[in-house]
Structure formats: structure tokens, C-alpha cells
Copies of this chain bind each other. A is one copy, B any other.
């Protein structure tokens, strides 16, 4: 199966699309731009959800659920936010179908069932949530309000790609309310830190933490924190964002609280989210021409065991050993699948598990039983060894940790070697075209310059990094004074 994949060097984009479908992660549906997330892909997403949910709850957040629909009058209340999303809104206008008198057996929209006010399918939930918070917040005692929602959202994108950009996607959106600006800023930064920690420690994806430039900010935000990752083709991917919303939504929805001092004040807000887009980041960070490569933390099955046998007796003898092994490995917290399907030959199973990125494969045949060995194969390095079955449990646990770390280190090395400082616009363009990756360059801070660079090179400012030295200099494009270097890249 693996050999049927287009190679990355041949066509990276085609490789990605093929891998997503062939590894059984997701596929396109009958609805334009909407995907079906298949069981194997969804199992990976569930692991991400569980870990993120744990991290959110540990930092005092609670889950809740708000309506899918936003009445148009609420949607337009915060003008910048509305303007930012208006062009990609799916709109419900009717609430009933009826038999089509012209086409027996077919239905049509009932013209008498037109809604008085159209409903926008949420592209994001600030409007409906802040309209609700108005009823929940009266006093400083009601603050902070720390709420998260796991939900589907819809943004009518014209060009879609599985996981990376789909009309409907799954995400979590946190929406918090605070008594002070300082507290809201700290919350926005804290959640961005949590995303970074999750990406690095759990997904083995190194990220740059930063702030967005004004033109790349979330519509309605005063400041957008982000984590930016680098894909194998040298393009950046925004993996998560956390917004300081100032008092914009509080003012749009008139949400005030009585302070300890008895004064009426507008509430300060944040919102933050990551989505099924992370699946795209995961795939494009670690995978290779043989297929998906999964960090053990995210693998639905960390280990797969394949029996090699000809007779039923051989199979039974192998199975006894396998059952003992799976029991002891499970007790160490390892997830295992015993692939005893009789409809596929071992070679086909190997290819499938390779394609699907199972971190470790154990093959056991009759000769192994005699010798007290197994064949142990690592997905990340594609290396194999024959090793004694005695003590294999500790070896597996240690290897899983090693693979998790090694994937991170490999991605970090790649990322770090693809951050290039440039000092002229010629160098900028050359590095962008020849090498790709992040380009660290001085910028004069104007939207005008940002737009022109984007127009000429297709590179955008990914972020103003939060870490590292900040030094003044001169803009690579205009030569004007620059307060600091920022990171440019072509991006997904």
C-alpha cells in the first residue's frame, strides 16, 4: 500500500491528500467542502481532545454548550467580527420542506416557512456567548467566568482541503470573562502556552509562540497570540490562536459588572481555539513516503502484533504467547492491537500498519517461539531487529518514550534549521524560494509594507515571536526603522 503513495518530493500536496485518504483518516463527503472523519482519524482526534480537555479543566475551565445558530442581529453586533466572517457564513432562511408539486417524490423548501430573522450557522461563537454572558455577569463575584465549548463550526471556504481547511470543522473554543485587562491578557497568554505545551509534549510538534500583526489578528480582537508550526515543505501552519478581545464584545453586548468598589465597568474578554486542523499539522510534521508516522501519545494503537503462521496449531501456539504479552503490556498502559485477521497476509498487514503509522510492530512466527524471540520494527526509523521476548515489555515502554522524543527532536532540528535571518529583500526572496521555512526579517511595522511583501512573495507575517532577543534595525523592504525582527513564511 505504502508504495502507492505519491512521494513528498514528487508532489507534497498530492502526497498529503493521498495519505489522508489511504491511511483511513478522512475523506471528502457529498457536501461541498465538508469532510467525513473516519474512525481511525477520529480516534486520534479523541486522544487530542482528552488531553486538551484535561489541561483546560486543570486550569479551572468548565465545559458548556451554546446554540449552533446565531440570529443575524446578534451576529452583526460586534462590527469587526461580523465583517471578518460575513463572507463565509452559511445561512438558514427556512424551517420546513414540503412535497414538490412539480416533482412527485421530491421535496422543496416551503416558501411559507421563511424565518423572520435569518440564522447564521456559527463560524465562531463570541456573539451568541456574549449575548448569554450578559445574563450571567452582574458583579465581580461572577468573575472570572472560564468556559470552554467543544463544537462544530462552519466557514464557507472556497478552497478546501481535508483537515486543513474545511467548510465544517470540529474545534474547541474557550470564552472567558474577567474583571481586569491584566487578568484577561494573562489568560490569553496562559492558553497560548497551554497550546504550545500540548503541541510540543503531546504531538511532538515544535512551535513558535508569538503575537499576530494587526492585519493577521482575529476579527474583533485587540491582540492575537498564536503558535506557529513548520511543515516539511517549508510552509508554516497556524496551529492555535488565543485572543485578547479587550472590551469589544462587552461593549457590543452591553456586559457590565459591579466592581468591588461599586462601580459599573465593562467586562474584559478572551477567546481561544484549536481545531481538527491539528490533524493536518500532525500528518505534515512527522509522516514520510511510506505513510503516516504517529507519536506514541497520539497513536490509537501504540503496538500492533502480527502472527506469522501456516497451520492452526502454529497460530494457537503464537496466540498463547501473544495473550500473555498483551496482558502485561496493557498493565503498563500500552495500547495494543493483536491483528489476527485471516483475510490478509502478513506482508499486507505490515504495509497497512506502516501506512497508518503504528509506532511499533511486533511480528511473531513459529521459529521465534522456538528461539524465544520476536521481530520488533520501529515505524519512525523503519528499522527492524530480532530481540528476546524476555523483558520485551520494558523495552517496548522505553522505545515508545524514545520514539516520542525522537520525533520531536527531529522536527525541532528541521524547524530550527529553517529559521533564517535575512537582511535584504533580495535575500528574503531567495531564501523563501530556495529554502523555505521561517524568515526572520526586520519590518517597519506598517500594514502597507506587510501587504506589499505579501503581494510580491506570498509570504505573510506569521508572528512577532514572544521569545528571543528584540533588537532594532531597518526594514528589509523599505529600509525604514524597524523595532524588531518578525517571522515571515508562506503558510497553509
Q: Chain A interface (Cβ within 8 Å of chain B)?
A: 27, 29-31, 34-39, 42-43, 46, 62-72, 74-76, 79, 82, 86-99, 105-107, 109, 118-121, 128, 131-132, 135, 141, 147, 151-152, 154, 156, 168, 170, 343
On whether the beta carbons of B86 and A107 are closer than 8 Å, the reply is yes
On whether the beta carbons of B107 and A97 are closer than 8 Å, the reply is no
What B residues does A72 contact at CB under 8 A? 97, 107
In the complex, which residue of chain B has the Cβ closest to the Cβ of A79? B105
Using known A-B contacts A31-B69, A68-B34, A94-B93, determine if residue A63 contacts B42 with beta carbons closer than 8 Å. yes
- Give the complex CA separation of A42 and B42 in angstroms: 22
Using known A-B contacts A93-B94, A109-B118, determine if residue A67 contacts B31 with beta carbons closer than 8 Å. yes
Using known A-B contacts A91-B94, A93-B91, A97-B72, determine if residue A67 contacts B128 with beta carbons closer than 8 Å. no
What B residues does A31 contact at CB under 8 A? 67, 69-71, 119, 128
On whether the beta carbons of B96 and A66 are closer than 8 Å, the reply is no
What B residues does A38 contact at CB under 8 A? 64
In the complex, which residue of chain B has the Cβ closest to the Cβ of A152? B68
Judged by DSSP, the binding face of A is mixed
On whether the beta carbons of A64 and B76 are closer than 8 Å, the reply is no
What B residues does A42 contact at CB under 8 A? 62-65
Please list 29 pairs of residues, one from A and one from B, whose beta carbons are closer than 8 Å in the complex, sorted by A's number. A27-B132, A29-B67, A29-B132, A30-B74, A36-B67, A37-B64, A37-B65, A39-B63, A39-B147, A42-B63, A42-B64, A65-B170, A68-B152, A69-B90, A72-B97, A75-B107, A76-B105, A82-B97, A86-B107, A87-B96, A88-B96, A89-B96, A91-B95, A91-B96, A91-B109, A93-B109, A121-B121, A141-B343, A151-B152
- Give the complex CA separation of A89 and B96 in angstroms: 5
What B residues does A65 contact at CB under 8 A? 36-37, 42, 170
Q: Report the minimal beta-carbon distance from A70 to chain B, rounded to whole angstroms.
A: 7
Q: Report the minimal beta-carbon distance from A77 to chain B, rounded to whole angstroms.
A: 10
- Give the complex CA separation of A76 and B75 in angstroms: 31
- Give the complex CA separation of A74 and B91 in angstroms: 20
On whether the beta carbons of B39 and A62 are closer than 8 Å, the reply is yes
In the complex, which residue of chain B has the Cβ closest to the Cβ of A153? B68
Apart from A35-B67, A42-B62, A43-B62, 19 more pairs, CB < 8 Å: A27-B132, A29-B128, A30-B67, A30-B74, A30-B131, A34-B67, A38-B64, A69-B168, A75-B107, A76-B105, A86-B97, A86-B98, A87-B96, A88-B96, A89-B95, A89-B96, A90-B95, A96-B156, A97-B120
What B residues does A66 contact at CB under 8 A? 29, 36
- Give the complex CA separation of A151 and B152 in angstroms: 9
What B residues does A37 contact at CB under 8 A? 64-65
On whether the beta carbons of B106 and A97 are closer than 8 Å, the reply is no
- Give the complex CA separation of A82 and B96 in angstroms: 12
What B residues does A63 contact at CB under 8 A? 39, 42-43, 46
- Give the complex CA separation of A409 and B96 in angstroms: 44
Using known A-B contacts A63-B39, A67-B34, A170-B65, determine if residue A107 contacts B29 with beta carbons closer than 8 Å. no
What B residues does A89 contact at CB under 8 A? 95-97
- Give the complex CA separation of A46 and B97 in angstroms: 34
- Give the complex CA separation of A90 and B128 in angstroms: 18
- Give the complex CA separation of A451 and B106 in angstroms: 28
- Give the complex CA separation of A34 and B125 in angstroms: 14
On whether the beta carbons of A36 and B76 are closer than 8 Å, the reply is no
On whether the beta carbons of B92 and A107 are closer than 8 Å, the reply is no
- Please give me the 10 A-B residue pairs with the lowest Cβ-Cβ distance, nearest first: A39-B62, A34-B67, A37-B65, A86-B97, A95-B156, A91-B94, A31-B67, A93-B93, A76-B107, A90-B92
In the complex, which residue of chain B has the Cβ closest to the Cβ of A53? B46
On whether the beta carbons of B86 and A96 are closer than 8 Å, the reply is yes
Q: Report the minimal beta-carbon distance from A116 to chain B, rounded to whole angstroms.
A: 9
In the complex, which residue of chain B has the Cβ closest to the Cβ of A341? B141
On whether the beta carbons of B91 and A64 are closer than 8 Å, the reply is no
- Give the complex CA separation of A131 and B30 in angstroms: 8
In the complex, which residue of chain B has the Cβ closest to the Cβ of A41? B64
- Give the complex CA separation of A228 and B366 in angstroms: 54
Using known A-B contacts A29-B128, A69-B168, determine if residue A107 contacts B94 with beta carbons closer than 8 Å. no
On whether the beta carbons of A128 and B87 are closer than 8 Å, the reply is no
- Give the complex CA separation of A195 and B176 in angstroms: 36
- Give the complex CA separation of A67 and B76 in angstroms: 26
What B residues does A95 contact at CB under 8 A? 88-91, 156
- Give the complex CA separation of A42 and B69 in angstroms: 19
